Chain A
Amino acid sequence: MASHSESIIREPLITGKNITYAQITNDVLFPVENKPNKAWWIGFTLASLGAMLWVFAISWTFWFGIGEWGLNKTVGWAWDITGFVWWVGIGHAGTLISAVLLLFRQNWRNSINRSAEAMTIFAVICAATYIFGHMGRPWLAYWTLPLPNQYGSLWVDWNSALMMDVFAISTYFSVSLVFWYTGLLPDIASIRDRATGLRRRIYSIFSFGWTGSVKTWQRFETVSLILAGISTPLVLSVHTIVSFDFATSLEPGWHTTIFPPYFVAGAIFSGFAMVQTLLLIARKVLGLENYITMFHIESMNKIIILTGSIVGVAYLTEFFIAWYSQSEYEQYAFINRSTGPYWWAYWSMMTCNVITPQLMWFKKIRTSIPASWVLSIIVNIGMWFERFVIIVTSLHRDFLPSSWVMFYPTWVDVSIFIGSIGVFFTMFLLFLRVLPSVAMAEVKLLLKSSSEQAKKKLIEHGHLDKEQVEFYKESLTKYDSVELADYDKA
Chain B
Amino acid sequence: MSSTKMILGLFDDPDEMMHGIDQLQKNSVPIYDVYTPMPIHGIEAKLGIKDSRLGYAAFCFGCLGGSVIFSIVYYTLVHDWPMNIGGKPNFPMPNFVPFTFEWTILWTAFGMVATFFFATHLFPGRAPRVMDLRATDDRFVIAIDAKGNVPHEDITRILQDAGAVEIKHNDRKYVSYE
A59 → B minimal CB distance (Å)? 32
Instruction: Tell whether B137 is near chain A: CB-to-CB under 8 Å.
Output: yes
Q: A223-B113, A237-B102 are in contact. Are A444 and B37 (CB under 8 A)?
A: yes
| Contacting residue for B103 out of A155, A163, A171, CB 8 A | A171
Interface positions, chain B 45-87, Cβ under 8 Å from A, are 47, 49, 52, 54-55, 58, 62, 72-73, 76-77, 80-81, 83, 85
Does residue A313 face the partner (Cβ distance < 8 Å to B)? no
* Interface stretch of the complex, out of A71-79, A203-211, A330-338, A371-379: A203-211
Task: Give A52 to B117 CA distance when docked, in angstroms.
Answer: 38
Give the chain A neighbours of B126 by CB distance below 8 A: 208-209
In contact, A212 and B101 (Cβ under 8 angstroms): no
**Binding stretch for chain B, among A131-139, A226-234, A348-356, A456-464:** A226-234
Which residues of the partner chain B approach A179 to less than 8 Å between Cβ atoms?
109
Q: Which of A42-50, A185-193, A389-397 contacts B (4 or more CB under 8 A)?
A: A185-193
Looking at A3, A185, A226, the one whose CB has the most chain B CB atoms below 10 A away is: A226
How far is A448 from B41 in the complex, measured between Cα atoms in Å?
A: 14
Output the nearest chain A residue to B126 by Cβ-Cβ distance: A209
A1/B42 in contact, CB under 8 A: yes
Check B3 for interface membership: any CB of A closer than 8 A.
Answer: no
A189 & B105 in contact (Cβ 8 Å cutoff): no
Contact with A along B100-129 (1 / 0, CB 8 A): 011101101110110011011111111111
Cβ–Cβ contact B47 & A214, under 8 A = yes
Contacts of A214 in B (CB 8 A): 33-34, 36, 43-44, 47, 49
Instruction: A344 to B72: give the CA distance in the assembly, Å.
Output: 47
In the complex the two chains form, is B80's CB within 8 Å of A155's CB? yes
One of B49, B127, B136 near A190 (C-beta < 8 A): B136
| Chain B, Cβ-Cβ closest to A216 | B120
Q: Answer yes or no: B6 CB below 8 A from chain A CBs.
A: no
Known: A210-B128, A211-B129, A233-B105. A222 touches B95 (CB 8 A): no
Task: Give A213 to B99 CA distance when docked, in angstroms.
Answer: 38
Contact of B40 among A2, A157, A211 (CB under 8 A): A2
Q: Given the complex, which residues of B lie within 8 Å of A206, measured CB to CB?
A: 124
Interface size class of B (residues with CB under 8 A): 35 or more
In the complex, the chain B residue whose C-beta lies closest to that of A21 is B138
**Who on chain B is nearest to A207 by CB?**
B128
Report yes or no: A208 in contact with B37, Cβ–Cβ below 8 A: no
In the assembled complex, how far is the CB of residue B82 from the closest CB belonging to chain A, in whole angstroms? 10
Of B54, B106, B136, which contacts A223 at CB under 8 A? B54
* Nearest CB on B from A377, distance (A): 33
Tell me the minimal C-beta distance from A166 to chain B in angstroms.
9
Contact with A along B25-43 (1 / 0, CB 8 A): 0000000011111111111
The answer to whether the Cβ of B134 comes within 8 Å of any Cβ in the partner chain is yes
In the complex, are the beta carbons of A212 and B99 less than 8 A apart?
Answer: no
Q: Is A141 an interface residue (CB 8 A)?
A: no
**Residues from chain A with Cβ under 8 Å of B98 in the complex:** 164, 167-168, 237, 241, 244
Cβ A155 vs Cβ B102 within 8 A = no
Complex Cα gap A327–B103 (Å): 38
Q: Are B39 and A217 in contact, CB atoms less than 8 angstroms apart?
A: yes
Docked-complex contact B105 and A158, CB < 8 angstroms: no
CB of A36 closer than 8 Å to a CB of B: no
Q: Which residues of A have CB within 8 Å of B85?
A: 159
Report yes or no: B54 in contact with A222, Cβ–Cβ below 8 A. Answer: yes
Tell me whether A34 is interfacial, beta carbon within 8 Å.
no
B133, chain A: closest CB distance, angstroms: 4
Closest A-chain residue to B119, C-beta based? Answer: A219
Question: In the bound complex, what is the Cα–Cα distance between A25 and B33 (angstroms)?
Answer: 23
- Nearest CB of B to A364, in Å: 36
- Name the distance in Å between A113's Cβ and chain B's nearest Cβ: 14
Q: Does A402 make an interface contact (CB < 8 A)?
A: no
Indicate whether A22 reaches chain B with its CB closer than 8 angstroms: yes
Contact across chains for A213 and B108 when beta carbons are under 8 A apart: no
Query: Which single residue of chain A is at the shortest CB-CB distance from B81?
Result: A155
Q: What would 9 more interface pairs be, CB under 8 Å, given A25-B137, A226-B58?
A: A2-B18, A22-B137, A175-B105, A194-B137, A204-B127, A219-B54, A226-B108, A233-B105, A444-B38
Closest 7 CB pairs of A and B: A209-B126, A21-B138, A155-B76, A208-B122, A22-B138, A164-B98, A222-B52
Return 30 A-B CB contacts under 8 Å, by A number.
A1-B42, A20-B12, A146-B76, A164-B99, A167-B99, A167-B103, A174-B110, A175-B109, A178-B113, A185-B122, A190-B37, A190-B137, A192-B136, A193-B176, A194-B133, A205-B124, A207-B128, A209-B121, A209-B128, A211-B136, A212-B35, A212-B135, A213-B33, A215-B33, A218-B52, A226-B108, A230-B62, A230-B109, A445-B38, A445-B39
